[in-house]
Amino acid sequence: MTDKQPWQWPESEWRAKVEKIRAGRPLLHPDVPRRWNDGDKAAVLLSFDADHESGALRDGQTSPGLMAQGEFGTRVGVPRILEVLKRYEVHASFYIPAVCALLRPHEVPAYVESGHEVALHGWIHERNTLLTFDQELDLLGRAADVLQEQSGRRPTGIRTPSWDFSDSTLEVIRELGLLYDSSLMADDAPYELLADGNPTGVVEIPVEWIRDDAAYLEMDRYSGLRPYLSPRQLLQIWKDEFDAAYSANSVFDLTLHPHIIGHRSRLVILEELIDYMRSHAGVWFATHEELALHIAPQLTAGQDFKTS
Amino acid sequence: MTDKQPWQWPESEWRAKVEKIRAGRPLLHPDVPRRWNDGDKAAVLLSFDADHESGALRDGQTSPGLMAQGEFGTRVGVPRILEVLKRYEVHASFYIPAVCALLRPHEVPAYVESGHEVALHGWIHERNTLLTFDQELDLLGRAADVLQEQSGRRPTGIRTPSWDFSDSTLEVIRELGLLYDSSLMADDAPYELLADGNPTGVVEIPVEWIRDDAAYLEMDRYSGLRPYLSPRQLLQIWKDEFDAAYSANSVFDLTLHPHIIGHRSRLVILEELIDYMRSHAGVWFATHEELALHIAPQLTAGQDFKTS
Amino acid sequence: MTDKQPWQWPESEWRAKVEKIRAGRPLLHPDVPRRWNDGDKAAVLLSFDADHESGALRDGQTSPGLMAQGEFGTRVGVPRILEVLKRYEVHASFYIPAVCALLRPHEVPAYVESGHEVALHGWIHERNTLLTFDQELDLLGRAADVLQEQSGRRPTGIRTPSWDFSDSTLEVIRELGLLYDSSLMADDAPYELLADGNPTGVVEIPVEWIRDDAAYLEMDRYSGLRPYLSPRQLLQIWKDEFDAAYSANSVFDLTLHPHIIGHRSRLVILEELIDYMRSHAGVWFATHEELALHIAPQLTAGQDFKTS
Amino acid sequence: MTDKQPWQWPESEWRAKVEKIRAGRPLLHPDVPRRWNDGDKAAVLLSFDADHESGALRDGQTSPGLMAQGEFGTRVGVPRILEVLKRYEVHASFYIPAVCALLRPHEVPAYVESGHEVALHGWIHERNTLLTFDQELDLLGRAADVLQEQSGRRPTGIRTPSWDFSDSTLEVIRELGLLYDSSLMADDAPYELLADGNPTGVVEIPVEWIRDDAAYLEMDRYSGLRPYLSPRQLLQIWKDEFDAAYSANSVFDLTLHPHIIGHRSRLVILEELIDYMRSHAGVWFATHEELALHIAPQLTAGQDFKTS
């Protein structure tokens, strides 16, 4: 680290920063049409970050008003989402901060009972880039213990809170022996993570703000964040994302939040989107873990993945 | 209270903060179709926060330019809204800061004469989370006196300014013996408020930024807030909210502001929305107080509600 | 002035601030259909704030990049706008800061030659609420001299820059003997200004951010302002504003900026809007001065208006 | 430079600042229909700023999360864009910071091989207005060396990063002997740059935020920038821009970014736009350099342009 301005950095410095964590081998070869399971053409990964009150808690903002805005997620959003997923017979991945799991000990079991994946989303939706390696590892290790205790098996994947993947995160992931991460954005399709140029045996299932309800719909009275697009506009964007993924025999993943998408005027677009995607032949609705296991054989590096 | 970062808080701390004020018993049982009054299928609660100049006053911003922007609400918005409500023969709830009521002593009586509810909205649109309990109680107590004096009866409900429900608000509500609050967001349908897990006998009629004109249309030259969606987009969102509420035999409530919705290109969507909702069979247009009284018998705890 | 928080202010303080400058007598009686000129049904007031580089200059931001963004207004926007107005045979009002007039001495004469009104818009688009009375009067007095020199007659009206009407502005207006102001927002239709409750003989032709291109389309790289709505959405909003004004036999006024509306994808909606409004019978396209003179006889107070 | 507030500046000061760099002779005479090459009616200039990670690097923000968001541009966006351009048989201009070129030495050669222009976009996407003349010259000189080394010829044009054209930029451009700049906004059509009123022999091919994907779609978690319009809305805006440019026998230029437009739901509008423009007779898809060379004979001043 130097005191220089970025435009004064020597090549060694900017190169090291850029190349620290990079995208490696594509785990779905981009040029070759492929089959998923039994002839499926494309994969759809629905995921829900069950943040509820934790985004406000993480900032130390704990007024009853803000707590209630998050409570909507667990009280109303989650049951509605579970009903929709059941009706359409699709499985999804739920990423939940440990604090939220502890606050309502029935929530994680309900996900598991319905056949959904439960995976890591930090301790209290902490911002990793503000923590040391030890702090990040401690919080995530304890979170894994909580989810294992409540779900009956150890989580195999992580989505970092706010997708705030720090300089320590990959090392923490390897220390915990996780199969996959789903926080980075270097591709639309999964790839193997590289550390300083070397394959790591960790699957990355990339995300994008484009396919995230919070980027468009989050409302924060005092920071000035507002809903900038209407749900109907999001539906069009997500259909366009799916259409191109489907044509490319690739992956379409979506990140949603129970306290955001769970409202009536928004759930209607989720239903319409699932309906639209299901009307296409050969779409595999998979959990992130199912996809990661499916493509893991293509990894270059030996995995440290610890099965529970 | 500790000096620790939120991610260092012990469980006792984050649990206490989250569980301080929570949603309790649903006052409309979510699984059972219900009847409102004489066979009505769903309830629509229209409300208007008559803030006028008080949002700017509260921040100490008193230039004639800003004062005029608020004045539009009382001079133009209110008469137009009263005309629309009369034409469609529906009643609504008006929440007005005491300062606004005192500035134009004819305004509250005009609401009452037209059959609308008048209820609490703070003294000067103060931000409760910046006040002590004593300050909050003092301001709200004096506000209740003003509204009682002008309307002929004591208000039975409150909507906190900016829905900024503080750690003191519930205690203030109970001290004042109010029937209901309409500031929290833990559900779409009414529920009983819990304090530290115990039923309070206070009805919560929840709100949402999704169903609030200010979240989308507020304009503040220097803070950077702008109209982000067009009125026609809001109409679609609110129709979607109503449709789902109607299908669920539930409640649709809307929060509007005379100085925002009262403009010509916006009033047109309010008229179209009311027209649309009235075209459905069995819609009960109620005030918040009417709904609260209707469901109060389902409350668990004894009420301190003081009738005037 | 006290050191108290606004919620601690005595009634005398908040009342004085609110009542300092208020809307008085409506100069178009709202309940009675009226005729404008020779049977016209409604009035349309188009106006252009020729700010060009002055918004950036006013903030001391003078990089060539920002200067060029403003230069577009005078080099490209103004000629296109003049061509459109000529083609549709309508007159408009141009508000121009004196610095802009001095930078291109041919601009004001071109407005006058085409039959348009030229009126005050500050010296350098200054923020009045940051100035003393003496400073505001000095700058505006010198601006009036510049416009008189270039246009051949003394301006009779003012639009304060950014509609930032200060505690001094009305007194400055009276000192300069202006006929009208067009900066406040207490109504859709013109009214007489009151000072501390007393009629002033000054006509207010109100404006609104809803009918201002900058509120929706301004782009500022570093402050985060962006175009939030598409021009097609604005067209719908402005048509809705016009429709209701037309139905009410009232006034529709629009505030545009050559460096904003003058771009190709935006000018197209201005043309479509004018076309739409002209297709209605009995629409009087007037300058602000023409309207002010038309309604001035209804003023309560004697006017200090000085004709040039 | 004085310590005075802008509204206190003497005329000499504001005049000098405004007139330092201005638009001179239009290089496409605006009143006369013209022919481009062999009867073409209008010119379309597609350009891509290959910023990738450099926007975040420039701010010293180097978390793996942000680095991956930029990596998408080079890993996924660029190949997709090259495929689209090849399929539609059109050439474009690629502006790339030297640091990005050095990070992936295959990228610039791939542009050149496909027949596209490669030109300057700073060293590390630095903000020129924060630099001295010497710093700006040094960084840009070294960037020119890198691009010459990788592309086989010296770049002839520049687009300043973030279009942040400083007080030094024009002198730097002349020192480096560049043919054209593409960073300013004083017109829709190309013009000759003036320095203190004197022709410079430098071609300006102007840009606009209206025709820039980043202005509408950039997403920055913590600064609050969000996608404010949907891609479908941008398509309409850009069609409107093209239509008017086509009618005027003029130029339509578009600035895109691989890490923004390269996503699936966005690339679809680029394809539809190119398709739409190609369906018009006589459209010349040119690089910026081709256009600059085509119109350079109309320059007033002798050029210092150094051919490589």
pLDDT digits (tens, 9 = 90+) for D27-70: 975 544 466 667 788 999 999 999 999 999 999 999 999 999 99
pLDDT tens sequence across C38-55: 678 899 999 999 999 999
Three-state secondary structure call for residue B64: helix
Using the beta-carbon criterion (under 8 Å), do B57 and C21 form an inter-chain contact? no
- pLDDT at A12 (0 to 100): 94
Token digits of residue C6: 């606004």
Residue D212, pLDDT > 70, answer: yes
Q: Please answer whether residues A166 and D63 qualify as being in contact, where contact means their C-beta atoms are separated by less than 8 angstroms.
A: yes
Q: Please answer whether residues A300 and A192 qualify as being in contact, where contact means their C-beta atoms are separated by less than 8 angstroms.
A: yes
Cα–Cα separations (whole angstroms), residue C198 to C159, C167, C187, C195: 22, 16, 18, 5
Q: Provide the chain D residues 110-149 that lie in CB contact (below 8 A) with chain A.
A: 123-124, 126, 131, 135, 139
Using the beta-carbon criterion (under 8 Å), do D241 and C231 form an inter-chain contact? no
Q: How many CA atoms lie within 13 A of D48 on its CB side?
A: 29
- CA-atom Rg of chain D in angstroms: 19
> How do C191-195 and C21-26 pair as beta strands?
antiparallel
- Burial bucket for residue B33 (CB in 10 Å: 0-12, 13-18, 19+): exposed
Q: Please answer whether residues C208 and B227 qualify as being in contact, where contact means their C-beta atoms are separated by less than 8 angstroms.
A: no
- pLDDT at D40 (0 to 100): 84
Instruction: Report which DSSP code applies to C63.
Output: -
**Cα pseudo-dihedral B158, A220, A205, A158, rounded to 10:** -60
Q: Please answer whether residues A235 and A272 qualify as being in contact, where contact means their C-beta atoms are separated by less than 8 angstroms.
A: yes
Using the beta-carbon criterion (under 8 Å), do D229 and C230 form an inter-chain contact? yes
Q: Which residue of D has its CA nearest to C231?
A: D237
Q: Please answer whether residues A207 and A251 qualify as being in contact, where contact means their C-beta atoms are separated by less than 8 angstroms.
A: no
pLDDT band (50, 70, 90) for residue D111: very high
Residue D233, pLDDT > 50, answer: yes
Q: How many CA atoms lie within 13 A of B265 on its CB side?
A: 23
Over pLDDT 90: what percentage of chain C?
Answer: 89
pLDDT band (50, 70, 90) for residue B2: low
Q: Identify the helix (H) or strand (E) that includes residue B78.
A: helix B78-87
Residues of chain A with pLDDT under 70: 1-2, 29-37, 303-308
Q: Please answer whether residues A303 and A296 qualify as being in contact, where contact means their C-beta atoms are separated by less than 8 angstroms.
A: yes
Q: How far off is chain D from C100, nearest CA to CA, in Å?
A: 10
Q: How far off is chain A from D79, nearest CA to CA, in Å?
A: 11
Q: In chain A, what residues touch B165 (CB-CB under 8 Å)?
A: 63-65, 68
Q: How far off is chain A from B56, nearest CA to CA, in Å?
A: 15
- pLDDT at C307 (0 to 100): 46
Residue B71, pLDDT > 50, answer: yes
Any D CB within 8 A of C103 CB: yes
Q: Which residue of A has its CA nearest to B240?
A: A265
Using the beta-carbon criterion (under 8 Å), do D186 and C263 form an inter-chain contact? no
> d(Cα C167, Cα B62) in Å, to the nearest integer?
9
- Burial bucket for residue B178 (CB in 10 Å: 0-12, 13-18, 19+): buried
Q: In chain D, what residues touch C68 (CB-CB under 8 Å)?
A: 21-23, 165, 184-186, 206
Q: How far off is chain B from C84, nearest CA to CA, in Å?
A: 25
Q: Please answer whether residues C272 and C238 qualify as being in contact, where contact means their C-beta atoms are separated by less than 8 angstroms.
A: no
Q: How far off is chain B from C105, nearest CA to CA, in Å?
A: 31
- Measured in whole angstroms, the distance separating CA B185 from the mean position of its chain's CA atoms is 11
Q: 3-state DSSP helix/strand/coil percent for chain C, to nearest 5? A: 45, 15, 40
Q: In chain B, what residues touch C216 (CB-CB under 8 Å)?
A: 226-227
Total beta-carbon pairs less than 8 A apart between chain C and chain D = 130
Please tell me which of the candidates D53, D221, D264 has its beta carbon nearest to residue A188.
D264
- pLDDT at A308 (0 to 100): 44
Q: Which chains touch D (3 or more CB pairs under 8 A)?
A: A, C
pLDDT tens sequence across A270-291: 999 999 999 999 999 999 999 9
Residue C249, pLDDT > 50, answer: yes
Three-state secondary structure call for residue C33: coil
> d(Cα B7, Cα A127) in Å, to the nearest integer?
9
CA angle, corner A83, sides to A80 and A88, nearest 5? 130
Q: Provide the chain B residues 59-78 that lie in CB contact (below 8 A) with chain A.
A: none
Any D CB within 8 A of A169 CB: yes
pLDDT tens sequence across B111-166: 999 999 999 999 999 999 999 999 999 999 999 999 999 999 999 999 999 999 99
Mutate to test the interface with C, among B136, B265, B272 (most CBs of C within 10 A): B265
Nearest Cα residue to C206 out of C33, C78, C80, C22:
C22
Using the beta-carbon criterion (under 8 Å), do A162 and D75 form an inter-chain contact? no
Average pLDDT value over all residues in chain B: 94
Q: How many CA atoms lie within 13 A of B45 on its CB side?
A: 28
- pLDDT at D305 (0 to 100): 55
- pLDDT at D32 (0 to 100): 45
Q: Identify the helix (H) or strand (E) that includes residue C3.
A: none
Domain A20-298: CATH architecture, name and number where available:
Alpha-Beta Barrel (3.20)
* Terminal-to-terminal C-alpha distance of chain B: 39
Using the beta-carbon criterion (under 8 Å), do A167 and D228 form an inter-chain contact? no
> d(Cα D184, Cα B10) in Å, to the nearest integer?
56
Nearest Cα residue to C11 out of D20, D4, B146, D127:
B146
pTM, to two decimals? 0.96
> d(Cα A68, Cα D302) in Å, to the nearest integer?
69
Domain C22-298: CATH architecture, name and number where available:
Alpha-Beta Barrel (3.20)
- pLDDT at D66 (0 to 100): 95
Domain D39-298: CATH architecture, name and number where available:
Alpha-Beta Barrel (3.20)
Q: Provide the chain D residues 204-243 that lie in CB contact (below 8 A) with chain C.
A: 206, 208-210, 215-216, 223-225, 228-229, 233, 236-238, 240-241, 243
Residue D300, pLDDT > 90, answer: no
Using the beta-carbon criterion (under 8 Å), do C241 and B265 form an inter-chain contact? yes
Please tell me which of the candidates A5, A223, A237 has its beta carbon nearest to residue D265.
A237
Q: How far off is chain B from C225, nearest CA to CA, in Å?
A: 7
Please tell me which of the candidates D6, D164, D233 has its beta carbon nearest to residue C60.
D6
Please tell me which of the candidates C7, C215, C236 has its beta carbon nearest to residue B230.
C236
- pLDDT at B31 (0 to 100): 47
Cα–Cα separations (whole angstroms), residue B193 to B21, B22, C163: 7, 6, 45
- pLDDT at A32 (0 to 100): 45
Q: Identify the helix (H) or strand (E) that includes residue A45.
A: strand A42-49
The CATH homologous superfamily of the domain defined by B19-298: Glycoside hydrolase/deacetylase (3.20.20.370)
Mutate to test the interface with C, among D28, D191, D210, D233 (most CBs of C within 10 A): D210
Residue C1, pLDDT > 70, answer: no
Q: In chain C, what residues touch D186 (CB-CB under 8 Å)?
A: 68-69, 71-72, 75-76
D52: alpha, beta or left, given left = phi > 0 and alpha = psi -120 to 50?
A: left
Any D CB within 8 A of C41 CB: no
- pLDDT at C32 (0 to 100): 45
Q: In chain D, what residues touch A27 (CB-CB under 8 Å)?
A: none
Token digits of residue B196: 């530290």
Q: Please answer whether residues D42 and D249 qualify as being in contact, where contact means their C-beta atoms are separated by less than 8 angstroms.
A: yes
Using the beta-carbon criterion (under 8 Å), do D64 and A20 form an inter-chain contact? yes
Q: Domain limits of chain D?
A: 39-298
pLDDT tens sequence across D154-207: 999 999 999 999 999 999 999 999 999 999 999 999 999 999 999 999 999 999
Please tell me which residue, A267 or C300, carries the higher pLDDT value: A267
Mutate to test the interface with A, among D52, D53, D54, D67 (most CBs of A within 10 A): D67
Which residues fall within 8 angstroms of residue D93, CB to CB, at 6 or more apart?
D45, D46, D47, D48, D116, D117, D118, D119, D157, D182, D287, D288, D289
Q: In chain A, what residues touch B162 (CB-CB under 8 Å)?
A: 221
Q: How far off is chain A from B160, nearest CA to CA, in Å?
A: 10
pLDDT tens sequence across B157-171: 999 999 999 999 999
Over pLDDT 70: what percentage of chain B?
Answer: 94
Using the beta-carbon criterion (under 8 Å), do A230 and B215 form an inter-chain contact? no
> d(Cα A229, Cα D216) in Å, to the nearest integer?
12
ipTM of this predicted structure: 0.95
- Give the type of residue at D269: I
> d(Cα B43, Cα B20) in Å, to the nearest integer?
29
Using the beta-carbon criterion (under 8 Å), do A186 and D139 form an inter-chain contact? no
Q: Please answer whether residues A174 and A150 qualify as being in contact, where contact means their C-beta atoms are separated by less than 8 angstroms.
A: no
Please tell me which of the candidates D67, D221, D232 has its beta carbon nearest to residue A162.
D221
Total beta-carbon pairs less than 8 A apart between chain A and chain B = 130
Using the beta-carbon criterion (under 8 Å), do D63 and A238 form an inter-chain contact? no
- pLDDT at A305 (0 to 100): 55
- pLDDT at A31 (0 to 100): 47
Please tell me which of the candidates C63, C103, C264 has its beta carbon nearest to residue D245.
C264
Q: In chain C, what residues touch B99 (CB-CB under 8 Å)?
A: 14
* Terminal-to-terminal C-alpha distance of chain C: 39
pLDDT tens sequence across D74-90: 999 999 999 999 999 99
Nearest Cα residue to C253 out of C281, C217, C227, C283:
C283
Handedness of CA D264, D265, D270, D276 (dihedral sign): positive
Q: How far off is chain B from A12, nearest CA to CA, in Å?
A: 35
Three-state secondary structure call for residue C217: helix
Q: Please answer whether residues C186 and C23 qualify as being in contact, where contact means their C-beta atoms are separated by less than 8 angstroms.
A: yes
- pLDDT at B224 (0 to 100): 86
Residue C276, pLDDT > 80, answer: yes
Q: In chain D, what residues touch A238 (CB-CB under 8 Å)?
A: 265
pLDDT average, residue stretch B266-284: 97
Q: φ, ψ for residue C285 (rounded to 5)?
A: -85, 105
Give the helix ranges, DSSP H, for A176-304: 213-217, 231-247, 258-261, 264-278, 288-295
> d(Cα C43, Cα B236) in Å, to the nearest integer?
31
Q: How far off is chain A from D64, nearest CA to CA, in Å?
A: 6
